[in-house]
Amino acid sequence: MTGPAPSKRQRGPYGPNDLAEPDQTKRARLEQPFLEPDQLTPQLSSAPSQRTSASPFAFSDSGSPFAPPLDPPTRAPDLDDLFAGIPEGTPDEDERCCFGEVILDATSSKQLGEGNFRVPVELRFTPNVINLYAEGSHEYVGLLNSQGIRDLVQLFEVTLSATLWCPSDKKKKCGKSGQLSPEPRTVHIVVYGLRKDMNEIGELLQNFKIFLQHPMEYDNRLEYFNPQYLLGPGERMPRPENAVFHAVSNNKSFDRFLEKHSKAELLQVFDSASGPLLFSEVTQSPRLKTNLKRYQQKALAMMAEKECGVLENAAFEPLWQVSTTEGGTRYRHIVTGTTQAGQPTPIMGGILADDMGLGKTLSTLALVAWFLDHVDNNVSPHAPSPRTTLIIAPKSTLPGWEEQIKSHVLPGQMNLALYHGTSRDRVSSVLHDHDIVITTYSTLRSEWKSKNGTSPLFQNTWARVVLDEAHHIRGRSTQTFKAASAIRASRRWCLTGTPIQNRLDDYGSLLAFIGIPPFVSKPAFEYWIGSPVQKNLPEGLLRLKRLVTATCLRRTKDVVRDELGLPRRSIRERIVHLDPHDREIYDFFKRNASHLIADKQILDNENAFQPGTGNILPIINTLRLICNHGQSLLSKPALAAWTQRCSSDALWGSSRHSVRTCYSCRTNSTSCDVPSEFTCSHFLCSRCEDTDDDYQSKVDDVVCPRCAQDDDRSYTSSSLNSLVESQPSAKVRALVGNLRNEQQCHEPASDGKPIKSVVFTFWKRMLDLLEIALRQEGFGFERIDGQKSLAQRISALSSFKNDDKCTVFIATIGSIGEGVDLTAANFVHLLEPHWNPMVEEQALDRVHRMGQTRDVVATRYITDHSIEMYVRDVKERKMRLINQSLGHVASESEPEMDWQTSLLDAFQ
């Protein structure tokens, strides 16, 4: 099996939208009567459009955007079925070819490491020069001056695949400022285009003394025709014997870099899927009372275009590229290269993956309102089409959906039914009388298991199904995923700010739910995407980028910051000094941990130094608990060890060895690939993670199901009494002082609302201690943790938002991750550092989001000379890795983190 077609890294000096059809034409197409696909007859034209394509692989013609509906996936196709019909060359392939490779001088001061490095680059044209940017990361790496290449992309439909060669020079030249001086480099550019333009392209390049060489690396699915290669009568162009598809050499140090940075690279691929700069807006429905921001209008335009099944002249990248030749119209899959004559089944759905707090809910409501307008204005003489949208969401987000509908939709313009709990029997027979039905993942899973398909969730056909926080279906083997996939709906949408949580197939699960061919099958996703990415093959990331662009729309807060108009967010650090007694406890456990480490009784392999692998994590957590509140939070074995001043290894044994096996299947940790990281010291192996629905439902509580049960059993009246008797720790006193200062030293908001604060902690028992301190100090507060019912959550959030006497909100950091709006507050307190920086970011996004009108100030509490400083360093290193761009390597000023040395320092 050969690789895909070359990446469209350079489309010429004009962007595709500059050459797009008139806005009014596209607007008219999106706003024509919206009918069910099965009532429409596709009308395809074979006449090519007069519009010049910016790429040789994307032709367009006029035609209807509608096609038959997308059926929900039924079975996973066999690999033979998936890969059949993709020969080495097809008639469509014959229209495109590779003309060879040109090697040009460039200027760059980029140093990427030892040995010869070849880095894919994008060519960006300016009036004078061609700038080089690392592909994906958009990092400037040099420049190229070639009028011949400029003329080439302006006169012909070509695709250029460029690679910057940066040989390492041990004698680096420095300028007067001490910085590296620009040095001569070479850019290798593989030229692809239409065979009919071959001779003209060869002549143009020769006129500029640019000569085409045999390519060292190219898409060998395509024919190779070098117009400057002299052939005798009847001779055929020889294929380069040593040419390969790979665009990056197998340099060992570079391979290790990719392994360490793979997740950051994948995140950058998704971050780049921000859609076109120019697009035709869809008229906002009069049902909405909130004006959409520009980036939300783009989301509506994308979702409307996808639901209309637009392939030709699409503003947003489609899954199939359309080309029209004398032989007719053909459709080519952008990842697999499969071509077909008939119009593909439209993919009427996708993934809206905007950052948290950017209004994915409002964008979805805008889509529903737009759809309802067309249904109401175009009544069909046929059987009535489904008009009800089914939304599946975590229990915690239900109040948010109800509140968003009240806030953004005019009264009486969109009716809602909640299918959850005791309300199910009352509304089950009238679900289709509503415009929106909302249910929970737990309800969906429960009815799929118990009712054998008789539930109205699975019997009814819905206009569309929307998965909120769609990463809840990321395990293909879970009942939640199977239940969601069994819903009857042709339009299928996923809303999630985290399309990848632990592994790339998290994204594959979303594609399977939507029905993206051929990725309904996990083997197919692994073959085309997962395996090439894991092996660091360049085509892997290229394919992934194409697929993400065609299926996702994602904007980060940084991208839309100016448009969003959010107030400032600042983060400060408060250093806390342990009380003498707590310091004595801390030093006792630290000394014993140091002895165990020195004896190698814990760190029995190099992975044990890394957070989440298990062995040393229970001891680290014990030290973290002491930092929060001395001995008040210690487990019974740890408290016994301190009381008896006993350093026996037996007292550590239960906690140390309890994390060596998966709590579900009891598999030894060393045989599990990528175990889930629970900060509670337990772990779930990857096989169980994919099949454990309890894990999926608690993934955002950051606590494993076993811990949730153990925590309930360990709660007794005597333990509560001991908490009441305890004195507030240094960290709690620091918090109370800051809360008091915020309320006394800051003026109320312009609307007279008081200053309010939110406090996050990882441990639920820490909330009990906070409750005691806040009551003693006279603060009005509300609380949420993972054990609160839906009614309790709604009541707590409403009180905090509307009651001026309630000025503090305390919560476990995991319980607040989804669907919670805390913009009533503008001060945030993080009582301890978390291993995962994104967990903290999600918590802060509950406050710093749309609707916030005041500057947000966050305070992180760090205990001096403690394990918390190590955790903070780990988190900051992780955050820097996440923020690194695709193709960017660590600078010499940012060395690799030595986990082992850093952790040992924390125990000195």
Q: What is the pLDDT of residues 104-158, one digit of tens each?
A: 988 876 665 444 467 888 898 877 789 888 886 778 888 888 889 988 988 888 8
In this predicted structure, what is the pLDDT of residue 772? 94
CATH class of 567-573+727-906: alpha beta
- Does residue 289 carry a pLDDT above 90? yes
CB atoms within 10 A of CB 650: 9
DSSP-derived secondary structure for 606-623? GGGGSTTSSTTHHHHHHH
Q: Which residue has the higher pLDDT, 218 or 189?
A: 189
User: Is there a contact between 493 and 361 (Cβ–Cβ < 8 Å)?
Assistant: no
* Ranges 389-398, 801-810, 885-894: which has the least confidence: 885-894
* Ranges 65-79, 580-594, 653-667: which has the least confidence: 65-79
In this predicted structure, what is the pLDDT of residue 228? 82
Q: Which residue has the higher pLDDT, 620 or 481?
A: 481
Q: With 0-12 CB in 10 A as exposed, 13-18 as middle and 19+ as buried, what is 251?
A: middle
In this predicted structure, what is the pLDDT of residue 460? 93
Confidence band for 895, pLDDT divided at 50, 70 and 90: very low
pLDDT tens digits, 90-100: 334 347 888 99
Closest CA to 10 of 128, 117, 127, 130: 130
Radius of gyration of the chain (CA): 30
List the chain domain ranges. 22-50+69-84+273-377+386-561, 93-270, 567-573+727-906, 579-722
Cα angle for residues 732, 807, 781 (degrees, 5° grid)? 65
- Does residue 169 carry a pLDDT above 80? no
User: Is there a contact between 525 and 505 (Cβ–Cβ < 8 Å)?
Assistant: yes
Main-chain dihedrals φ then ψ at residue 33, nearest 5 degrees: -50, 130
Q: Which residue has the higher pLDDT, 51 or 292?
A: 292
| Dihedral angle sign, alpha carbons of residues 556, 557, 558, 560 | positive
Q: Which residue has the higher pLDDT, 444 or 785?
A: 444
pLDDT cut 90: percent of the chain above it = 33
In this predicted structure, what is the pLDDT of residue 153? 87
pLDDT tens digits, 454-466: 899 999 999 999 9
Q: Which residue has the higher pLDDT, 94 or 19?
A: 94
Q: Which residue has the higher pLDDT, 628 or 20?
A: 628
pLDDT tens digits, 213-223: 888 888 777 88
Main-chain dihedrals φ then ψ at residue 377, nearest 5 degrees: -85, -5
In this predicted structure, what is the pLDDT of residue 135? 80
- Does residue 757 carry a pLDDT above 90? yes
Q: Which residue has the higher pLDDT, 233 or 670?
A: 233
Q: What average pLDDT does range 326-351 have in this prediction?
A: 90
Confidence band for 715, pLDDT divided at 50, 70 and 90: very low
Q: What average pLDDT does range 542-561 have in this prediction?
A: 92
Q: Which two tokens stand for residue 761?
A: 């902690």
User: Is there a contact between 562 and 362 (Cβ–Cβ < 8 Å)?
Assistant: no
Residues β-bridged to residue 665: none
Strand-pair category, 856-863 with 183-194: unpaired
In this predicted structure, what is the pLDDT of residue 389? 98
* Helices 717-725 & 764-777 angle (0-180, nearest 10): 50
pLDDT tens digits, 594-609: 766 655 444 444 444 3
**In 3-state terms, what secondary structure has residue 349?**
strand
- Does residue 12 carry a pLDDT above 50? no
Q: Is the pTM of this model over 0.75?
A: no
CATH topology of domain 22-50+69-84+273-377+386-561: Rossmann fold (3.40.50)
Residues β-bridged to residue 144: 106, 130
> If you search the block for the tokens 């206009």, which residue do you land on?
463
Q: Which two tokens stand for residue 440?
A: 């929970």
> If you search the block for the tokens 């090519």, which residue do you land on?
48
- Does residue 653 carry a pLDDT above 70? no
Question: Which residues are within 8 A (CB) of 710 and not within 5 positions of it... i.e. 6 or more apart?
Answer: none
Strand-pair category, 158-167 with 183-194: antiparallel
Confidence band for 742, pLDDT divided at 50, 70 and 90: very high
Query: Can you give 80-138 as a three-state secondary structure string?
Result: HHHHCCCCCCCCCHHHEEEEEEEEEEEEECCCCCCCEEEEEEEEEECCCCEEEEECCCC
CA distance 599 to 218: 54
Residues β-bridged to residue 333: 320
User: Across the chain, what does the average pLDDT equal?
Assistant: 74
Closest CA to 340 of 548, 547, 546, 86: 86
22-50+69-84+273-377+386-561 and 567-573+727-906 have identical folds:
yes
- Does residue 884 carry a pLDDT above 60? no
In this predicted structure, what is the pLDDT of residue 900? 52
| Dihedral angle sign, alpha carbons of residues 730, 733, 739, 742 | negative
DSSP-assigned letter for residue 316: S
In this predicted structure, what is the pLDDT of residue 856? 94
- Own/partner pairs, 255-264, CB within 8 angstroms, 24+ separation: 255/536, 257/113, 257/889, 257/890, 258/536, 259/536, 260/881, 260/896, 261/881, 261/884, 262/533, 262/536, 263/500, 263/881, 263/882, 264/881, 264/882, 264/883, 264/884, 264/886
Confidence band for 22, pLDDT divided at 50, 70 and 90: very low
Residue environment code for 529-565, b if the CB has 16+ CB neighbours within 10 A, otherwise e: bbebbeebbbbbbbbbbbbbbbbbbbbbbebbeeebe
Q: CA 644: distance to chain centroid?
A: 49
In this predicted structure, what is the pLDDT of residue 599? 54
- Does residue 348 carry a pLDDT above 90? yes
Confidence band for 724, pLDDT divided at 50, 70 and 90: low
Q: What average pLDDT does range 239-249 have in this prediction?
A: 45
Question: ω into residue 618 within 30 of 0, thus cis?
Answer: no
pLDDT tens digits, 656-703: 444 445 545 545 443 333 334 444 445 555 555 544 555 444 443 444
User: Is there a contact between 254 and 248 (Cβ–Cβ < 8 Å)?
Assistant: yes
* Element at 828 (helix H, strand E): strand 827-830
CA distance 57 to 112: 33
- Does residue 548 carry a pLDDT above 60? yes
DSSP-derived secondary structure for 488-557? EEEEEEEE-S-S-SSSTHHHHHHHHHHT-TTTTSHHHHIIIIIHHHHTT-HHHHHHHHHHHHHHEE---T
In 378-498, alpha helices (H): 398-408, 424-427, 441-450, 456-459, 479-485
Q: Which residue has the higher pLDDT, 453 or 549?
A: 549
In this predicted structure, what is the pLDDT of residue 840? 84
